[in-house]
Amino acid sequence: MPDLHLPRYLGFDLARATELTALAAARWMGLNNQQDADRAAAITMRDVLSEIEMDGRIVVEEDAKHGHDTPLTSGRSVGTGRGPALDVVVDAIDGCRLLAQGYGTAVSVATAAPRGALWAPVPAIYMDKIVVGKEIGAALVPECLDAPAAWTLALVARATGRRVSDLVVFVLARPRHEHLIAEIRSAGARVVLSADGDIVGALLATTPNSGVDVLMGIGGVPEGLMGACAVRASGGAMLGRLAPQSAREREAIQAADLDTRRILTGEELVGSNQVFFAATGITDGPLLEGVRYMGERATTHSLILRGETHTRRRMVTEHLLEERHPAG
């Protein structure tokens, strides 16, 4: 598809949305109220997105996984209705359970690309994925998704001039990954397990010297698409394929005539380099510090990626809370 040239400030508009959402979400840290935290954050995200000069459409969201509607359901229009026509994927809180329980690594994420650029496999919920950084990208081939982990890790090691035992693989800590984790360990690589947050895992895999070389395993489709936007914007590489986790999801995918055998590359998941990715830390994590409240002020730490230039910006913002955007 021909690329629509997007305004360079769009990344900052998305970051404003993730910043204000993070400010709303961080108040719920450790209160053990996941549902209310998620809804408060989603309302804030919706309200701030509505002010951006764009004709946006939410491509996929977490409503299918949660089993209930959210303020950011798939197909919803966002933005002023003026400006470029965009596909938008957001997660008001990636790691909501972590936030509610008082753990780190929760972030707020927003991504955008020209209309039609993002793969949109509605009503699929889960997908299998592998993510690597720019240095390793050329070694990643579609066969990696079906091959034993040891084979893929050998390719990665060869591409980087290291031993397999030097590699670190990010995997979500889920029962479905027990065999994958055993394979990785048997190959000699090390494993970083996370209870939630595979968007952060994708960011780590594409960030030089982050301590993570590869992301492997099954996670949500929305997280996969946001991770793919980060991969495309940073010059990394990714493979993805639908991986239904229930009979109901499998039937819905078949009814939608989606192919569960098709393996997509990062360029097929995100069909344009005119992509923006923004993330703001809610609680402290390996890449972004969480929100700091200081009376009438608060500080946020954000990351903005721009696909056209592969620019990576880190931003620290001080907010005067009395003037912050209402939470809805």
Average pLDDT estimate for 125-145: 94
CB 72 within 8 A of CB 328: no
Average pLDDT estimate for 2-16: 87
Tell me the helix, strand and coil percentages in the chain, rounded to 5.
35, 25, 40
Nearest to 92 by CA among 9, 161, 26, 139: 26
The gap between the terminal CA atoms of the chain, to the nearest Å, is 37
Please, which pLDDT band fits residue 302 given cuts at 50, 70 and 90? very high
Rounded distance, CA 237 to CA 161, Å? Answer: 18
CB 6 within 8 A of CB 274: yes
pTM of the model: 0.93
Please, which pLDDT band fits residue 71 given cuts at 50, 70 and 90? confident
Q: Using one digit for the tens of pLDDT, what is the confidence trace for 10-47?
A: 999 999 999 999 999 999 999 999 999 999 999 999 99
Residue 65, pLDDT score: 52
Average pLDDT estimate for 167-175: 97
pLDDT value at 69 more than 80: no
Domain boundaries, the chain: 10-118+275-323, 126-269
Q: Which architecture, in CATH terms, is 126-269?
A: 3-Layer(aba) Sandwich (3.40)
Average pLDDT estimate for 251-261: 96
Q: Tell whether domain 10-118+275-323 is in CATH 3.40.1260.20.
A: no
Residue 138, pLDDT score: 86
Please, which pLDDT band fits residue 327 given cuts at 50, 70 and 90? very low
The upper half-sphere exposure of residue 271, i.e. CA atoms within 13 Å in the direction of its Cβ, equals 13
Read off the tokens for 164.
Answer: 């397999």
DSSP character string of 261-311: T--EEHHHHB--S--EEEEEESS--SSS---EEETTEEEEEEEEEETTTTE
pLDDT above 90 coverage of the chain, percent: 88
Distances (CA, A) of 164 to 110, 133, 135, 146, 171: 34, 16, 15, 19, 16
Residue 328, pLDDT score: 42
